[in-house]
Amino acid sequence: MQKNLEWEKGNMFSKRSVETDVLIKKLLKCAVSGTGIHEEFKCMLKQIAAFVRASVGSLLLLMDDGSLQFVAVYGGKEGIIGERLPPGSGIAGVVAESLRPIISNNPSEDERWAKEFAVSIGYIPENILAVPVMTGNKIVGVLEVLNKHGGFNKEDLKLISSVIPILSSVVEKVRLYYVNQKEIERLRALIDISLKLGGMLDLQTLLEGIMETAKEALDAEASSIFMIDKERNDLYFVAATGEKKESLKEIRVPWGKGIVGWVAEHGRTLYVPDVSKDERFYSKVDEKTKFITKSIIAVPLWKKSEIIGVAEVLNKKGGGTFTVEDITVFEAIAKHASIAIENASLYKELEDLFRNAIMLVVNAIEAKDPYTKGHTARVTKYSMLIARTFKMSAEQRRALELAALLHDVGKIGIPDSVLLKPGKLTEEEYALIKEHPSRGAKIMEPLKIPEVIEGILHHHEKYDGSGYPDGIKNGDIPFNARIIAVADAFDAMTTDRPYRKGLPLEEAIRRLKKDSGTHFDPEIVQAFLDVLEVRREEIIKTISS
């Protein structure tokens, strides 16, 4: 009898082991299906839920602000994808903070359950099994399976835990996607503001557009601009976004009152993550508008050395907290608003600020690799020096400059393990690197500036047609791309890399001449050589910068 029992236990264990192996193969198949991030994870959730006989599965990604964002759902309400749980909220939030799994077979009676969120989406689960998804010692998300007939048990937890390593190995792919999407959105927002400022919009429309862009870029509930009225010694709204914007028009804030009053008086950026705990908060605005302020970033607006107003953004969506990056981006946006208020026609100053804002993103990419630091700035400088030798309009030069600044933006999303590899790349790794012009053009596509997009897309084409991504040649390669190709190659040749020292100037010149007519447009090579002859010392200083 005892032997039979042991045989049955062993047989059950063996059967489960085989089933686990089958599940792992199915998960790997989902992960490499090439159907896109959301579908791949939906496929994996379907297999995992079926494995423990649950009908619903969800994956939440841990964001920089501590909130958990739904990134994939199977069998449940797919409309919650993109929604966030505030830090520590709900069973998933407790799992993320404690790093321990939770089984709750009656969540509606569980004090850890996010009841308000569940009611808001109209979904009440029967039971939940939630497990932390770890990469090494770092938590990256939470896996939930829900609605198993009869409830979950420790055996289910053990089974789920056995496949978590497979899931965590690909979750980093999702995390990278969402982080990069946010950087892309911020980059687009800054470019969008620059384009708005370049147009002749009336100031009111302009400021409202800037604040709407700020609200979207920071994923906030509302944003607004106050101006200082010196005669009345108070601040008044000039632009606002959000549901309550119309009710703000007649509201004024006494000088020195509230968060905005403090910023106007002290001239410093202020972030208040919880206004209920800050005695400077002026609650009368909320009382009049019925808007509930939870957190604020407030930034002073300057006209030369004088403070003329305050820009503010309110409440991170999903109950999250604003990050250091959010503050940096909002300060950049506030600078654009200041210029618009002072004088929308100050084109040169605007362009400088815009370029600096773009460089915030570019520098973030270059910071990954000390050997490429300053690459974008040098390529842009060489490109603009070449442009001077041709008859190009101000608009054409501006498009070239923007294309040069952004020519490597497609490297966002390429893994560091490939970008920073010191040795020779494999064929697969090189193929991934070769995707960056197409990736960059795709990122910039919504801007609808053909000259910029073409310059990014084709800066690795070669004059004889042997380049990528399209293998076009001669005059079919856009003019901006031909200029950037020479500037990019020259900088690559003359700067140090992990695997070699930069070439001497004379050797780089020799190689440019050698590849003129094959890799590069001969006319542009000659133009650059003419620049080198006249500005030799300046170029040498730039190389070493």
Domain 368-543 belongs to what topology? Answer: Hypothetical protein af1432 (1.10.3210)
Q: Where in the chain is the domain with CATH 1.10.3210.10?
A: 368-543
Residue 520 DSSP label: B
Share of the chain above pLDDT 90, in %: 32
In whole angstroms, give the CA distance from residue 215 to residue 242: 9
The pLDDT of residue 93: 93
Tracing tokens 């800054």 back to the chain, one arrives at: 190
Q: Return the DSSP state at 371.
A: G
Mean pLDDT of 49-67: 87
Average pLDDT of the chain to the nearest whole number: 83
State both tokens at 415: 């893994």
Mean pLDDT of 511-519: 96
Q: Which CATH class is domain 10-173?
A: alpha beta
Tell me the CATH class for 199-348: alpha beta
Q: Which of 330, 341, 328 is nearest to 228 (CA)?
A: 341
Residue-wise pLDDT tens digits, 436-449: 999 989 988 877 78
Burial 446-456 (b: 16+ CB within 10 A, else e): ebebebbbbbb
Of 81-85, 291-295, 346-350, 394-398, give the range with the top mean pLDDT.
291-295
Model confidence at 170, pLDDT cuts 50, 70, 90, reads low
Pick from 318, 277, 321, 279: which is nearest to 297 by CA? 321
Cα–Cα distances (Å) from 68 to 94, 143, 176, 297, in that order, read 11, 11, 15, 22
Task: Give the gyration radius of the chain's Cα atoms.
Answer: 28
Q: 345 pLDDT band (50/70/90 cuts)?
A: very low
The predicted-structure confidence for 492-502, as pLDDT tens digits, reads as follows 999 887 667 88
Distance CA 100, CA 325 (A): 30
Q: Which of 366, 360, 359, 355 minimizes the C-alpha distance to 397? A: 355
CATH 3.30.450.40 in the chain, residue ranges: 10-173, 199-348
pTM: 0.48
**264-267, long-range: CB within 8 Å, 24+ apart, which pairs?**
264/226, 264/228, 264/235, 264/300, 264/307, 264/309, 264/310, 267/300, 267/302, 267/307
Strands across the sheet containing 252-254:
252-254, 234-240, 220-229, 306-316, 296-303, 270-272
